[in-house]
Amino acid sequence: MKNKYYALKITGILVLIFIIQLIFKNFTELFVLDGSKVLIRPWTLLTSIFLHGNLAHLMLNGFALALFGSILENIIGSKRFLFLFFISGIFANIPGAIFYNSSLGASGAIFGIMGCLTILRPKMTIWMNLMPVPMWLAAIIWALQDIFGIFVPSDIGYWAHLGGLFFGLIYGFYVKNR
Protein backbone atom coordinates (compact mmCIF):
# COMPACT_ATOMS: atom_id res chain seq x y z
CA MET A 1 0.00 0.00 0.00
CA LYS A 2 1.69 3.18 -1.17
CA ASN A 3 0.91 6.30 0.84
CA LYS A 4 -0.19 9.14 -1.44
CA TYR A 5 -0.08 11.73 1.39
CA TYR A 6 -3.68 12.80 0.86
CA ALA A 7 -3.91 14.18 4.42
CA LEU A 8 -1.10 16.62 3.69
CA LYS A 9 -2.39 17.41 0.20
CA ILE A 10 -5.87 18.19 1.52
CA THR A 11 -4.31 20.40 4.19
CA GLY A 12 -2.56 22.32 1.41
CA ILE A 13 -5.84 22.61 -0.50
CA LEU A 14 -7.50 24.05 2.63
CA VAL A 15 -4.81 26.73 2.79
CA LEU A 16 -5.18 27.58 -0.91
CA ILE A 17 -8.95 27.83 -0.63
CA PHE A 18 -8.61 30.06 2.44
CA ILE A 19 -6.40 32.42 0.43
CA ILE A 20 -9.06 32.47 -2.29
CA GLN A 21 -11.66 33.27 0.39
CA LEU A 22 -9.56 36.23 1.50
CA ILE A 23 -9.08 37.54 -2.04
CA PHE A 24 -12.63 37.03 -3.32
CA LYS A 25 -15.09 38.12 -0.64
CA ASN A 26 -18.17 36.46 -2.23
CA PHE A 27 -16.43 33.11 -2.71
CA THR A 28 -17.44 31.81 0.73
CA GLU A 29 -21.12 32.63 0.16
CA LEU A 30 -21.16 30.48 -2.99
CA PHE A 31 -19.94 27.33 -1.25
CA VAL A 32 -20.91 27.61 2.44
CA LEU A 33 -23.51 25.20 3.80
CA ASP A 34 -26.77 27.09 4.34
CA GLY A 35 -29.31 24.88 6.09
CA SER A 36 -32.25 26.67 4.48
CA LYS A 37 -30.84 26.10 0.97
CA VAL A 38 -29.23 22.68 1.24
CA LEU A 39 -31.97 20.98 -0.80
CA ILE A 40 -31.41 23.33 -3.74
CA ARG A 41 -27.62 23.51 -3.20
CA PRO A 42 -26.71 19.96 -2.08
CA TRP A 43 -23.08 20.33 -3.25
CA THR A 44 -22.51 22.59 -0.27
CA LEU A 45 -22.55 19.48 1.94
CA LEU A 46 -19.15 18.84 0.35
CA THR A 47 -17.81 22.27 -0.59
CA SER A 48 -18.26 23.76 2.88
CA ILE A 49 -15.71 21.26 4.23
CA PHE A 50 -12.97 23.22 2.45
CA LEU A 51 -13.97 26.68 3.76
CA HIS A 52 -12.81 28.24 7.02
CA GLY A 53 -14.04 31.23 8.98
CA ASN A 54 -10.69 32.69 10.04
CA LEU A 55 -6.99 31.91 10.30
CA ALA A 56 -7.25 30.28 13.74
CA HIS A 57 -10.01 27.97 12.45
CA LEU A 58 -7.85 26.99 9.49
CA MET A 59 -4.74 26.47 11.62
CA LEU A 60 -6.49 24.23 14.15
CA ASN A 61 -8.15 22.13 11.47
CA GLY A 62 -5.01 22.03 9.32
CA PHE A 63 -2.85 20.87 12.22
CA ALA A 64 -5.34 18.17 13.27
CA LEU A 65 -5.81 16.97 9.68
CA ALA A 66 -2.08 16.83 8.97
CA LEU A 67 -1.35 15.01 12.24
CA PHE A 68 -4.24 12.60 12.73
CA GLY A 69 -4.90 12.25 9.02
CA SER A 70 -1.31 11.25 8.27
CA ILE A 71 -1.32 8.69 11.07
CA LEU A 72 -4.60 7.17 9.91
CA GLU A 73 -3.64 7.23 6.24
CA ASN A 74 -0.56 5.15 7.09
CA ILE A 75 -2.77 2.63 8.90
CA ILE A 76 -5.68 2.21 6.47
CA GLY A 77 -4.18 3.37 3.19
CA SER A 78 -4.77 6.42 1.05
CA LYS A 79 -7.96 5.30 -0.71
CA ARG A 80 -9.75 4.39 2.50
CA PHE A 81 -8.52 7.58 4.13
CA LEU A 82 -9.86 9.69 1.28
CA PHE A 83 -13.21 7.88 1.44
CA LEU A 84 -13.44 8.45 5.20
CA PHE A 85 -12.51 12.13 4.94
CA PHE A 86 -15.17 12.95 2.37
CA ILE A 87 -17.97 10.76 3.70
CA SER A 88 -17.50 11.74 7.33
CA GLY A 89 -17.36 15.41 6.28
CA ILE A 90 -20.62 15.06 4.38
CA PHE A 91 -22.18 12.98 7.17
CA ALA A 92 -21.13 15.64 9.70
CA ASN A 93 -22.71 18.37 7.59
CA ILE A 94 -26.15 16.77 7.72
CA PRO A 95 -26.73 17.75 11.38
CA GLY A 96 -24.90 20.97 10.54
CA ALA A 97 -27.57 21.76 7.96
CA ILE A 98 -30.31 20.97 10.46
CA PHE A 99 -29.03 22.79 13.54
CA TYR A 100 -27.13 25.79 12.13
CA ASN A 101 -28.02 28.63 9.79
CA SER A 102 -24.69 28.17 8.04
CA SER A 103 -21.73 25.88 8.49
CA LEU A 104 -18.19 25.59 7.20
CA GLY A 105 -14.93 23.85 8.04
CA ALA A 106 -13.23 20.48 7.94
CA SER A 107 -13.68 19.65 11.62
CA GLY A 108 -16.53 17.18 11.05
CA ALA A 109 -14.32 15.22 8.65
CA ILE A 110 -11.42 15.46 11.10
CA PHE A 111 -13.61 14.13 13.91
CA GLY A 112 -14.39 11.22 11.59
CA ILE A 113 -10.66 10.58 11.28
CA MET A 114 -10.24 10.73 15.06
CA GLY A 115 -13.20 8.40 15.56
CA CYS A 116 -11.69 5.84 13.21
CA LEU A 117 -8.31 6.14 14.98
CA THR A 118 -10.08 5.59 18.30
CA ILE A 119 -11.23 2.17 17.15
CA LEU A 120 -8.06 1.15 15.32
CA ARG A 121 -5.51 2.55 17.81
CA PRO A 122 -7.35 3.05 21.12
CA LYS A 123 -4.17 2.92 23.21
CA MET A 124 -2.23 5.35 21.01
CA THR A 125 -1.00 8.15 23.26
CA ILE A 126 -1.78 11.71 22.25
CA TRP A 127 -1.24 15.00 24.06
CA MET A 128 -4.41 16.70 25.19
CA ASN A 129 -4.32 19.83 27.34
CA LEU A 130 -0.63 19.25 28.10
CA MET A 131 -1.27 15.69 29.31
CA PRO A 132 -0.63 12.36 27.60
CA VAL A 133 -3.88 10.39 27.25
CA PRO A 134 -4.89 7.31 25.28
CA MET A 135 -6.87 7.94 22.11
CA TRP A 136 -10.02 6.31 23.52
CA LEU A 137 -10.06 8.72 26.47
CA ALA A 138 -9.42 11.73 24.23
CA ALA A 139 -12.39 10.71 22.06
CA ILE A 140 -14.64 10.49 25.12
CA ILE A 141 -13.47 13.91 26.32
CA TRP A 142 -14.01 15.46 22.87
CA ALA A 143 -17.47 13.90 22.64
CA LEU A 144 -18.43 15.17 26.11
CA GLN A 145 -17.15 18.66 25.28
CA ASP A 146 -19.32 18.69 22.16
CA ILE A 147 -22.36 17.31 23.96
CA PHE A 148 -22.08 20.01 26.63
CA GLY A 149 -21.24 22.59 23.97
CA ILE A 150 -24.58 22.02 22.29
CA PHE A 151 -26.19 23.86 25.19
CA VAL A 152 -23.82 26.85 25.06
CA PRO A 153 -24.41 29.38 22.27
CA SER A 154 -21.30 29.69 20.06
CA ASP A 155 -20.11 29.51 16.47
CA ILE A 156 -18.69 25.99 16.95
CA GLY A 157 -20.38 23.15 15.05
CA TYR A 158 -20.81 20.73 17.94
CA TRP A 159 -23.47 18.69 16.14
CA ALA A 160 -21.20 18.40 13.11
CA HIS A 161 -18.31 17.22 15.30
CA LEU A 162 -20.51 14.55 16.85
CA GLY A 163 -21.83 13.47 13.44
CA GLY A 164 -18.29 13.10 12.08
CA LEU A 165 -17.09 11.28 15.20
CA PHE A 166 -20.04 8.87 15.02
CA PHE A 167 -19.36 8.04 11.37
CA GLY A 168 -15.64 7.63 12.07
CA LEU A 169 -16.32 5.19 14.90
CA ILE A 170 -18.60 3.13 12.65
CA TYR A 171 -16.06 3.15 9.84
CA GLY A 172 -13.33 2.17 12.30
CA PHE A 173 -15.35 -0.90 13.33
CA TYR A 174 -15.90 -1.74 9.65
CA VAL A 175 -12.18 -1.51 8.83
CA LYS A 176 -11.18 -3.42 11.98
CA ASN A 177 -13.54 -6.30 11.19
CA ARG A 178 -12.36 -6.67 7.57
Opening angle at CA 34, ends 88 and 19, nearest 5: 75
Q: Which residues pair with 127 in a beta bridge?
A: 132
DSSP annotation of 67 reads I
Is 161 part of the annotated catalytic residue set?
yes
Contact at 8 Å (CB) between 162 and 143? yes
How many other CB atoms are there within 10 angstroms of residue 13's CB atom? 13
H or E segment and range at residue 78: helix 78-99
Is 36 part of the annotated catalytic residue set?
no
Angle between helices 78-99 and 6-23 in degrees, nearest 10: 40
Catalytic position from the list 57, 88, 103, 161: 161
53's CB contacts (< 8 A; 6+ apart) are 104, 105, 155
C-alpha to C-alpha distance for 166 and 87, rounded to whole angstroms: 12
Residues that are catalytic: 107, 161
